[in-house]
């Protein structure tokens, strides 16, 4: 049974035994001066010492066996990641544990730290702890602000191709004016206003076939006098029919009495009442659209001659767009076309301006 005693207890037994032996020896040593010990006494001393040591050791061992050390649990904070130091077993754990009674714990409960349950994140929330953003090793250079650029110029609308056939574009007066406007950059409203002021509205209701007839180059060579007079294909001042209208001349030399029979005949004809000089002066500009031929007796040709001449007459006056001109520009070109604003029956410039607004 002694070998199963803890080493520390063994050391204690040895020390206590040594202490007792030294005390006994000291008792017998002090008595040597008074008693002359014979040889028989030495044997008795040894026997008494042996019995005393045995009796003392048995008493000490019985006391030790009956003594139970309390069990302590070493509670100390542990740093995360460190392994706890294993606890030494107490003497109670060296012996065979008694049989547990029913309903009682088989071992003495030890003091334990409370268990803490860390709540988990609700579903849908990432369980990975977000990391701090990486700090760039070098400071990026700021991007230079772009220099303002000039706004792009609008793409110019390509010019319509030249007209090389005798039949001109447009199957009505309105279509003809739109075709001329997009080729000359003169407002459609101004073309319609001038056409109405000069030749009236009686040609507005022509059918497509009649419009096409008067909008074809050379139609006057085979036309009768009535057709010549209807399409204003005669000289307005004198009323005479041009000499190349051979069929019409067989019926007569004039359409009506001239409005200015004694004045110099400028050979004014057509839808916009354009003179021979205006046709000739604008020819270098109209040739881009009509490279083969031009004649003011053709509906389209007459309007084109007027548009080119009007653009030249506007000069530096405001012309914001091809679709709209201000009042001052409209009245300026109207005066130059007619020769004056006021006449005996009214004001030509004001009348054109009012018509211009009605066609916008």
347: CATH: 1.10.530
Helix, coil or strand: residue 90: coil
Is 163 within the bounds of a domain?
no
Is 316 within the bounds of a domain?
yes
Which of these, 245, 239, 204, lies nearest to 223 by C-alpha position?
245
Higher pLDDT, 282 or 48: 282
Residue range 214-260, pLDDT digits in tens: 999 999 999 999 999 999 999 999 999 999 999 999 999 999 878 88
Which of these, 348, 344, 345, 327, lies nearest to 336 by C-alpha position?
348
Is 285 within the bounds of a domain?
yes
Is 261 within the bounds of a domain?
no
Count the Cβ atoms, other than its own, within 10 Å of residue 265: 17
Which of these, 272, 280, 339, lies nearest to 307 by C-alpha position?
272
* Residue 327 and residue 193 share a domain: yes
Residue range 143-166, pLDDT digits in tens: 776 676 777 776 767 889 999 999
Question: Does residue 198 register a pLDDT over 50?
Answer: yes
The CA angle 123-129-134, to the nearest 5 degrees, is 140
Number of folded domains that form the chain: 2
How many residues can be counted in the chain? 360
| Confidence (pLDDT) at 54 | 55
Chain centroid to CA 85: how far?
64
* Residue 332 and residue 188 share a domain: yes
Q: What is the mean pLDDT of the chain?
A: 78
Domain range for 21: 2-31+41-58
* Residue 196 and residue 47 share a domain: no
Is 138 within the bounds of a domain?
no
Across-strand partners of 240?
Answer: 254
* Residue 331 and residue 205 share a domain: yes
Is 122 within the bounds of a domain?
no
* Residue 178 and residue 54 share a domain: no
Indicate the pLDDT class of residue 98, thresholds 50, 70 and 90.
Answer: very low
Is 132 within the bounds of a domain?
no
The CA angle 187-191-194, to the nearest 5 degrees, is 135
> How many H-runs (helices) and E-runs (strands) does the chain carry?
13, 2
Question: Does residue 322 register a pLDDT over 70?
Answer: yes
Is 149 within the bounds of a domain?
no
Q: Which residues contact 134 (CB under 8 A, 6 or more apart)?
A: none
| Confidence (pLDDT) at 72 | 45
| Confidence (pLDDT) at 104 | 47
Residue range 24-73, pLDDT digits in tens: 666 655 554 444 444 445 455 446 555 654 555 555 555 545 545 445 44
Instruction: Measure CA of the first residue to CA of the last residue in the chain; give whole Å.
Output: 130
């Amino acid at each position: 049974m002694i070998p199963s005693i803890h080493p520390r207890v063994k050391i204690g037994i040895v020390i206590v035994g040594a202490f007792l032996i030294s005390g006994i020896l000291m008792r017998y040593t002090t008595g040597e001066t008074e008693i002359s010990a014979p040889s028989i006494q030495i044997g008795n001393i040894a026997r008494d010492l042996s019995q005393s040591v045995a009796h003392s050791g048995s008493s000490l061992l019985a006391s030790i066996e009956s003594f139970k050390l309390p069990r302590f649990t070493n509670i100390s904070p542990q740093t995360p990641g460190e392994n706890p130091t294993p606890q030494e077993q107490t003497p109670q754990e060296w012996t065979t544990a008694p049989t547990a009674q029913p309903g009682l714990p088989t071992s003495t409960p030890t003091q334990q730290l409370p268990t803490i349950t860390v709540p988990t994140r609700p579903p849908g929330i990432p369980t990975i702890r977000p990391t701090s953003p990486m700090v760039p090793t070098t400071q990026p250079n700021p991007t230079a602000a772009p220099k303002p650029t000039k706004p792009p110029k609008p793409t110019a609308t390509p010019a319509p191709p030249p007209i090389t056939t005798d039949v001109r574009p447009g199957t009505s007066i309105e279509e003809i004016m739109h075709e001329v406007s997009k080729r000359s950059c003169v407002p459609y409203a101004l073309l319609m206003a001038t056409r109405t002021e000069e030749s009236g509205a009686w040609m507005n209701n022509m059918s497509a076939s009649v419009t096409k007839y008067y909008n074809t180059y050379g139609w006057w060579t085979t036309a009768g006098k009535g057709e010549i007079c209807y399409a204003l294909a005669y000289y307005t001042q004198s009323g005479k029919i041009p000499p190349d209208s051979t069929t019409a001349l067989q019926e007569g030399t004039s359409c009506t009495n001239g409005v200015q029979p004694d004045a110099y005949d400028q050979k004014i004809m057509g839808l916009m009442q354009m003179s021979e000089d205006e046709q000739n002066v604008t020819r270098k500009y109209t040739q881009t659209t009509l490279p083969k031929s031009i004649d003011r007796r053709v509906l389209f040709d007459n309007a084109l001659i007027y548009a080119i001449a009007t653009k030249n007459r506007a000069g530096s006056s405001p012309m914001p767009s091809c679709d709209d001109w201000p009042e001052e520009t409209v009245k300026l070109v109207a005066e130059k076309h007619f020769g004056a604003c006021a006449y005996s029956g009214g004001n030509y410039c004001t009348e054109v301006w009012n018509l211009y607004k009605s066609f916008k």
